[in-house]
Amino acid sequence: MALGRGFVIKAPIMPFDSIRFHSFRNLVDNEVNVEANRIFLVGENGQGKTNFLEALYYLSYGSSFRGPVDACIAREGSSEFALVGKAKIKSNTRDMPFEELRIMWKGKTKEIKRDGKILKDRKELVDLNPAVVYCHEDFDFASGEPERRRFFFDQTAGLVSAGYIDLLRDYRRILKQRNAALKEARISILDLLDEQLAGKGVELRFERSALERNFAYYFAEVYESVSHLGKAVRPVYMPSWKSEKSIVEIIANLANKRQDEISFGTTLSGPHRDRWAFICEGENFATFASTGQLRLLSLALRTAQAGYYTRCTSRLPILLLDDVLLELDLGRKKRFLDVLPSASQSFFTFLPGEPWVDYRNEDTLVYHVTNGRFSD
């Protein structure tokens, strides 16, 4: 399962040909043709451009990039929403990933179907049409809380390894059980939970260390290509269990700290407290970088994530780019577009005043978005 070996998925990624909405935020119930390599969404703020990208992301992962907001997605006055993404089957081979993806949310129930068959696990969607989204919240990866950086790198690892998703779920399940036992001071089961936590935690540490080795150099190349900083900036993994080299040592350390953890009612060490930092010439880049440099760092992270995915799987993701060029000067815009990785499909949002016409190619669809409606 090591990330260094990658997790190659045989089925090719197919771009969407059409997207249909029902009661999804402010988008008017309709089917929108997206049969193109590049799709531009042009409109003022608040018209539905980002909601469209959110719908595509939802079809890729069964959740929103805006967080756990299912109950807020349904249009006002509605208790449900639905999305349908279609792709044309272009041959008779059965390795094609899907013809139709359908997601229905009603009340607290979510149903995801691939060609009429229910998907029991959302991780199966990652095997179909994974999306890499560029959005304003990505700035947190550069300068936000440690959990936001952990989220990014866990997501990157999960894109190329379904086994990593299972491992992370197992660790979190055991951690939840252990925290409950600590709060209730159930000493009798803590020895067993310590062994389980240490075992899964060591596996996670190994996988994250492999990710650091394989991702760091690639990211440094992307960031330098856009920023022209002249100095290498690399992500560095800093595990919580740093000095404990074996499972036995970790178990012993957990036993030594047990009384403190019972007092706090929570597990004080482990991969859930791992950190990532961006280091430049031996220093934490976030402590001296400008806002513009940190913004570029967040864009470079997503670009490296998409390229890393392709490098590990030989597949192309869908790119969702929400106003990413707006804050860049002319030179950086050009350099950013030059390093933008190949994609099965790319969706861009623009304000009307931006020079989006300059970015079109022969396979670009342009939609003007107004009050949730799309016109070409």
d(CA 79, CA 105): 8
Q: Are 219 and 303 in contact (CB under 8 A)?
A: no
pTM over 0.85, yes/no: yes
Residue 80, strand partner residues? 106
Nearest CA to 87 among 344, 314, 315, 343? Answer: 344
CATH class of 20-129+344-376: alpha beta
3-state secondary structure of 285: helix
d(CA 43, CA 114): 32
Helices (H), 314-375: 330-339
Task: Give the per-residue pLDDT at 67.
Answer: 78
Task: Give the per-residue pLDDT at 108.
Answer: 81
Q: What is the pLDDT of residues 280-299, one digit of tens each?
A: 999 999 999 999 999 999 99
Topology agreement, domain 20-129+344-376 and domain 141-313 = no
How many CA atoms within 13 Å lie on the side-chain side of 195?
3
- 129 pLDDT band (50/70/90 cuts)? confident
d(CA 8, CA 10): 6
Distance of CA 61 to the CA centre of its chain: 9
Task: Give the per-residue pLDDT at 276.
Answer: 97
Domain residue spans of the chain: 20-129+344-376, 141-313
Q: Tell me the average pLDDT of the chain.
A: 90
The contacts of residue 362 (CB under 8 Å, 6+ apart) are none
3-state secondary structure of 274: coil
Give the H or E element holding residue 114: strand 109-114
CATH class of 141-313: mainly alpha
Q: From the DSSP assignment, how many helices (H) and strands (E) are in the chain?
A: 11, 15
Q: Are 132 and 320 in contact (CB under 8 A)?
A: yes
Q: Are 332 and 226 in contact (CB under 8 A)?
A: yes
3-state secondary structure of 372: coil
Q: What is the pLDDT of residues 9-53, one digit of tens each?
A: 344 456 899 999 999 999 999 999 999 999 999 999 999 999 999
d(CA 120, CA 99): 18
Residue % of the chain over a pLDDT of 90: 75
Q: What is the pLDDT of residues 230-251, one digit of tens each?
A: 999 999 999 999 988 899 999 9
Task: Give the per-residue pLDDT at 370.
Answer: 97
